[in-house]
Chains A and B, each alone.
Chain A
Amino acid sequence: GAGVSQSPSNKVTEKGKDVELRCDPISGHTALYWYRQSLGQGLEFLIYFQGNSAPDKSGLPSDRFSAERTGGSVSTLTIQRTQQEDSAVYLCASSLVPQSSYNSPLHFGNGTRLTVT
């Protein structure tokens, strides 16, 4: 596709349920990033993928959060046993190579707005 695609765009779930958020990066982009934007807060780094590997999972808030990437393309962020504090916009971004290259800008998806009731 032309850009980074995320689905669903909105998700309302009950506390305690599991949710899966999907990110389809720009074709050929090796680097993929997940961020979270809570109401009134800045963007927060969650996890980074280089290809299918996640060298840094340190941003994941708890062990209820996990992510995977398959085929060097689509990534899924899973939140188990959701809590109200998980409510936020979850944003995915991709870049051709890791950001240290100045010819590799970030491309963001429109995000998934997650509401836990």
Chain B
Amino acid sequence: KNEVEQSPQNLTAQEGEFITINCSYSVGISALHWLQQHPGGGIVSLFMLSSGKKKHGRLIATINIQEKHSSLHITASHPRDSAVYICASLNSGGSNYKLTFGKGTLLTVNP
């Protein structure tokens, strides 16, 4: 059974700081999602990756398949980045639809 662990659970930063959120998983996967959930809002898919690195604006996601680890980085953080960030894995060799979710990291960026 795949287990997805995120750290930290809570993160408070000052505007402008570089943020890193970590995600580790226990079994081989075919893809990993990073999701963003604003308070009271829906969920937005930020990245879906299976290897290497992806960048979108100030957000960077990396994955190391051998170490079963992924990171989400936010450069020059801003209060509007405050949200819950969730990683979710899609197991390899299994279904092509069933995600296993981490419990999320609550990020608060203060002005």
A positions within 8 Å CB-CB of B: 31, 33, 41-45, 48, 50, 56, 59, 91, 93, 98-100, 102, 105-111
> Are B97 and A56 closer than 8 Å at their CB atoms?
yes
A56 to B31, CA, bound (A): 20
| 12 extra interface residue pairs, beta carbon distance < 8 Å, beyond A33-B97, A98-B97 | A42-B101, A43-B86, A91-B42, A93-B43, A99-B48, A99-B97, A100-B30, A100-B31, A102-B50, A108-B43, A108-B45, A111-B42
Query: Could you tell me if A107 and B102 are in contact, using CB atoms closer than 8 angstroms?
Result: no
Query: Interface on B for A, CB 8 Å cutoff?
Result: 30-31, 33, 35, 41-45, 48-50, 86, 88, 90, 95-99, 101-104
The listed residue with most B CB atoms (<10 A of its CB), out of A44, A56, A98, A106, is A106
Residues of A contacting B99 in the complex (Cβ-Cβ under 8 angstroms)? 43, 45, 99
Is B98 a contact of A56 with CB atoms below 8 Å? yes
Closest 9 CB pairs of A and B: A100-B96, A110-B42, A108-B43, A43-B101, A42-B103, A98-B96, A42-B101, A48-B97, A105-B45
Q: Indicate if the CB atoms of B41 and A43 lie closer than 8 Å.
A: no
Query: B31 near A99 (CB under 8 angstroms)?
Result: yes
Complex Cα spacing A91 to B33, Å: 16
Is B98 a contact partner of A48 (Cβ separation < 8 A)?
yes
Question: Are B90's CB and A99's CB within 8 A?
Answer: yes
Of A41, A50, A108, which is in contact with the most chain B CB atoms at under 10 Å from its CB? A108
In the complex, what distance in Å separates the CA atom of A29 from the CA atom of B84? 26
* Contact in complex: A108, B101 (CB < 8 Å): no
Bound complex: CA A31 to CA B50 (Å): 20
Closest A residue to B48 by beta carbon equals A105
- 16 CB contacts below 8 A, A to B, read A43-B86, A45-B99, A48-B95, A48-B97, A99-B97, A100-B90, A102-B48, A102-B50, A105-B48, A106-B48, A107-B45, A108-B35, A108-B44, A108-B45, A109-B42, A110-B41
